[in-house]
Amino acid sequence: MTDDLVEVHGRCGRRFAALVAGVGPGQWHNDTPCSQWDVRTLVHHLLSEQRWVPPMFEGLTIEQAGDRFDGDLMGDDASAWPRLLTSAMAEAHAAVAQPGALERTVHLSFGDASGHEYVMQLTADLAIHAWDLAQATGQDAALDPGAVALLLPWTEASANLVAGSGMFAPPIDTGPGVPDDVRLLGLSAAEPERRKGDHHNSIRVRKKVSGRTRAEAHAAASSARSGPLHQCRASEQSAGA
């Protein structure tokens, strides 16, 4: 399981970076399934998230890390943004792949967590936000089957806690017999909209939260789950979400 998680984290990071490279010049302000986030803000969120990974695995606290990742991390040159993401993803994965990294304790904004739990959260964010980005930019939105297999049991185990926080809409009941990727999206507060004759891979899905942006709900639920990422909060502040 440990080796699988590290491998899937790397794949999901490379997948997200490839999707960023596929964003067209006129698509950076497209709406995304994350309420009130355009494509640039979504990408900034993931960039910020990756920047935090190495210092967290070095054992730093949020206070010790300071304000190094405050503000706009992307700058004005859109042609450089795919390279920024690729570099940040590689550095984050190198930290995750260190021997013993998943057994370490990391100091997140809501408290201490295991490296394993932290990387599960990172991987989930990469996988689900890759779907968001692909939907927003007309790219291939298929979820990695290995990521779905790894993340679905973890998401199922925490779905009721997240819903019980009152910050997320209840998990969407996708009904019996749906593919695992659709169930994962439903548990991530997404709503499948079936059209007559659709196959599962053409189901249109929209994120759904209780009157809040998905990011606000993600951060506010941190005490209910063993930890939506502290980076969500940091990136919202810096990106103005």
Beta-strand ranges (E) seen in 82-241 are 105-108, 111-114, 190-193, 204-207
Tokens of 156: 């199922």
Any idea where the domains of the chain sit in the sequence? 2-239
Provide the pLDDT for residue 64.
87
CA angle 56, 40, 136 (to 5 degrees): 110
Q: Structure pTM?
A: 0.76
Provide the pLDDT for residue 84.
94
The rounded Cα 193 to chain-centroid distance in angstroms is 22
User: CATH homologous superfamily for 2-239?
Assistant: dinb family like domain (1.20.120.450)
Distance CA 169, CA 149 (A): 23
Q: Are 227 and 108 a contacting pair, CB within 8 Å?
A: yes
Token pair 């990011």 is found at 215
- The closest alpha carbon to 131, from 95, 83, 185, 209, belongs to 185
Q: How many CB atoms lie within 10 A of CB 154?
A: 17
Provide the pLDDT for residue 176.
77
Tens of pLDDT along 92-144?
999 999 999 999 999 988 789 999 999 999 999 999 999 999 999 999 999 99
Strand partners, 190: 207
Provide the pLDDT for residue 177.
78
- The closest alpha carbon to 94, from 20, 9, 4, belongs to 9
Beta-strand ranges (E) seen in the chain are 105-108, 111-114, 190-193, 204-207
Collect the ranges in the chain with pLDDT lower than 70.
1-3, 160-175, 189-241
Provide the pLDDT for residue 7.
96
User: 3-class DSSP state for residue 101?
Assistant: helix
CA-based end-to-end distance of the chain: 35
